[in-house]
């Protein structure tokens, strides 16, 4: 659809303050964007979380996890304040249009690393169909689609499937959480079709909205490896602090 028609049907809103913005203006008010905290350049070599200083190679979670099934992570903003509110509206209040700006920000701040990784496909973290029915869309898929379009890569939304409904289990250790999540995930029909054709991508960008402990991305990427994917880069819009 023509962008002007889309703007007319869905008046464009700033993803940070949710206020209307003039048609044709940047996707986010510049003054709103300035209120957010970018992850900066001092980040964990593995997941992309900020670390206190340059001498720390890994964040606490990555250092204590040991072996990881994805090899790199990139993110844009610290998960706090205005961007946290933005993500809540994006996820629970049908502001799926924010996905375009999120992908734009990912490319603006991490475009170099994303391109260098030379991925062959983009895959979103899946959600259970019950959640999908309730929410109307998978928020990770929305961001993955925008990112894939920009990088000119295929996006496989049914490569991974969530077969069991899981509730967040905060009392579990990270390791137990990963194990539980792995049991709730399986390769989807797209993984099977690509396997039959011998064209499972070797390098993929795995997309989610938020990175907290990393257990979701860890579990997804372990299942990706079972399908023949060899290298996984995790890309998220927001990430928790590494030393809080
Ligand atoms: Zn704004
Ligand atoms: Zn880390």
pLDDT higher for 242 or 41? 41
Q: What average pLDDT does range 226-241 have in this prediction?
A: 94
Shared-domain flag, residues 31 and 128 = no
Q: Is 12 in the same domain as 97?
A: no
> Looking at the CA of 61, which ligand is closest?
2
> First CA to last CA across the chain, in angstroms?
44
Q: For the residues 105-116, what does the mean pLDDT come to? A: 96
Cα of 81 vs centre of ligand 1, distance in Å, is 13
Is 167:187 a contact under the CB 8 Å cutoff?
Answer: no
Same domain flag for 165 and 192: yes
Q: How confident is the model at residue 60 (pLDDT cuts 50, 70, 90)?
A: confident
Phi then psi dihedrals of residue 38, to 5 deg = -70, 155
Q: Inform me whether the pLDDT recorded for 6 exceeds 70.
A: no
**Whether 143 and 192 share a structural domain:** yes
In the predicted model, what is the mean pLDDT of residues 136-155? Answer: 97
Rounded Cα distance between 185 and 198, Å, is: 22
**Residues 19 and 123 both lie in one domain:** no
Helix (H) or strand (E) holding 126: none
* Residue 12 and residue 110 share a domain: no
Distance between CA atoms of residues 39 and 80, nearest Å: 11
Query: Is residue 202 in a domain?
Result: yes
Let me know if residue 244 belongs to a domain. Answer: no
Nearest ligand for residue 19 CA: 1
The total domain count for the chain is: 2
Supply the range of the domain harboring residue 212.
36-239
Do the strands 72-74 and 231-239 form a parallel or antiparallel pair, or are they unpaired? parallel
Do 89 and 190 belong to one domain?
yes
- Assess whether pLDDT exceeds 50 at residue 93: yes
Task: List helix spans (H) across the chain.
Answer: 3-9, 30-33, 60-65, 81-92, 98-116, 129-135, 139-151, 174-184, 189-196, 215-226
Ligand 1 geometric centre to CA of 125 (Å): 28
Ligand 1 centroid to residue 24 C-alpha, Å: 15
Q: Give 74 Cα–ligand 2 centroid separation in angstroms.
A: 10
Nearest ligand for residue 20 CA: 1
Tell me, yes or no, whether 88 and 1 share the same domain.
no
**1 vs 22, residue with greater confidence:** 22
- Give the chain's mean pLDDT: 90
Going by pLDDT thresholds of 50, 70 and 90, the confidence category of residue 177 is: confident
> What is the per-residue pLDDT for 66?
72
Q: Which residue has the higher pLDDT, 24 or 152?
A: 152
Q: Which residues contact 144 (CB under 8 A, 6 or more apart)?
A: 122, 123, 124, 155, 157, 205, 207
Q: Are residues 65 and 160 in the same domain?
A: yes
DSSP state of 231: E
Domain check: are 8 and 93 in the same one?
A: no
Burial of 76 (0-12, 13-18, 19+ CB in 10 A): buried
* Orientation angle between helical segments 98-116 and 139-151, nearest 10 degrees: 50
Radius of gyration of the chain (CA): 18
Model confidence at 244, pLDDT cuts 50, 70, 90, reads very low
- Residue 128 falls within a domain, yes or no? yes
- CATH label of the domain that carries residue 102: 3.40.50
Q: Which residues surround ligand 2, an ion (CB under 5 A)?
A: 44, 46-47, 49, 59, 62
Closest ligand to C-alpha of residue 50 is 2
- Residues 31 and 57 reside in one and the same domain: no
Residue 9 confidence (pLDDT): 64
* CA 198 to the chain's CA centroid: 27
pLDDT of residue 4: 61
pLDDT tens-digit map of 191-225: 999 999 999 999 999 999 999 888 899 999 999 99
CA 57/CA 44 separation, integer angstroms: 6
137 in Cβ contact with 90 (< 8 Å): no
Say how many residues make up the chain: 244
**124 and 90 co-located in one domain:** yes
What separation in Å is there between the alpha carbon of 35 and the centre of ligand 2? 24
| Nearest-angstrom CA–CA distance, 238 and 75 | 6
């Amino acid at each position: 659809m023509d962008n002007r028609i889309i703007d007319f049907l869905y008046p464009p809103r700033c993803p940070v303050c949710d206020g209307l913005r003039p048609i044709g203006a940047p996707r986010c008010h510049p003054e709103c964007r300035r209120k957010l905290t970018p992850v900066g350049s001092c980040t964990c070599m593995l997941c992309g979380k900020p670390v206190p200083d340059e001498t720390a190679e890994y964040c606490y979670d990555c250092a204590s996890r040991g072996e990881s099934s994805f090899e790199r992570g990139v993110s844009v903003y610290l998960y706090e304040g205005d961007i946290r509110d933005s993500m809540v509206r994006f996820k629970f209040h049908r502001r799926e249009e924010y996905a375009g700006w999120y992908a734009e920000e990912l490319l603006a701040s991490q475009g170099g690393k994303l391109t260098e990784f030379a991925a062959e496909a983009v895959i979103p973290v899946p959600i259970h169909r019950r959640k999908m029915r309730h929410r109307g869309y998978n928020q990770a898929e929305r961001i993955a689609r925008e990112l894939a379009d920009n990088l000119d890569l295929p996006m496989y939304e049914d490569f991974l499937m969530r077969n069991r409904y899981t509730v967040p289990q905060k009392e579990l250790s990270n390791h137990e959480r990963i194990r539980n999540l792995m049991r709730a995930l399986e390769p989807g029909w797209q993984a099977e079709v690509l396997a039959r054709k011998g064209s499972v991508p070797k390098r993929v960008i795995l997309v989610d909205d938020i990175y907290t402990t990393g257990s979701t991305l860890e579990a997804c990427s372990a299942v990706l490896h079972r399908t023949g994917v060899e290298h996984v880069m995790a890309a998220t819009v927001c990430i928790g602090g590494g030393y809080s």
